[in-house]
Amino acid sequence: MEQYLADYLLKLPKQLASSSSTINPRDEKIRLQLISPDDDQWRFIVDITNNQKKVFKISLHHQEDTMKSGLIRVDFNSSHRNPEEINPFVPAKLLPYAGRTFINEPHIHFHVQGYKDLVWAAPLDGYDGFKVKSIASHEQYCGAIVEFTRYINLNGKFVIQQRLL
């Protein structure tokens, strides 16, 4: 996918395809279907993947659903290695992270033209565009989901179930 299209799709206003959705933090996989009121040619999904063995290891993934192309992903308590090779489409903000390995470090993945889906990432600590930097509580978990929906321009109501103690 060309970079201009990925940037356009990420910025499009989105809404839930159904009237409401409930997010249960105990579910291993949650999928939200999205549409854009501004451009009905595109369909989107948000996947929230929770690790049942490691508390607060989650992945927030947003992609265009027709072409199955990833647009953005945020990983908490997860590991990843960036490519070492740099093509002309790698943005300046990612250049310092060429070949970097993230070990259980919160990071954000970006679409970069010419690479496989979302193989480039930057640490959340050094990235001002996403306000939640770590997850160590249920409140921060909920905050990360809300921040992710803001980041992808999702307008709509959903419920995040509270944990029972």
Please give the single-letter amino acid code of residue 66: T
**pLDDT of res. 135:** 87
- Segment 30-56 shows an average pLDDT of 82
Indicate whether 46 belongs to any domain: yes
- Confidence bin at 65 (pLDDT 50/70/90): confident
Determine the structural domain holding residue 33 and report its residue range: 3-160
Per-residue confidence (pLDDT) for residue 67, from 0 to 100: 80
Span 135-160, pLDDT tens digits: 888 888 888 888 999 999 998 777 77
Number of domains in the chain: 1
**Domain annotation covers residue 10:** yes
CA atoms within 13 A on the CB side of 56: 17
pLDDT number for residue 140 = 87
Q: Please choose, from the candidates 109, 123, 115, the residue with its C-alpha nearest in 3D space to the C-alpha of residue 61.
A: 109
Task: Tell me the pLDDT band of 165, cut-offs 50, 70 and 90.
Answer: very low
Query: What is the model's pLDDT at position 29?
Result: 83
Query: What local confidence, expressed as pLDDT, does residue 157 receive?
Result: 74
Band of residue 164 on the pLDDT scale cut at 50, 70, 90: very low
165 found inside a domain: no
Give tens-digit pLDDT for 75-134.
Answer: 988 899 999 999 999 999 999 999 999 998 999 999 999 999 999 999 999 888 899 998
> What are the strands, taking DSSP E only, across 17-94?
21-23, 29-35, 43-50, 58-64, 69-76, 80-81
* The pair of three-digit structure tokens given for residue 93, joined into one six-digit string: 């903000």
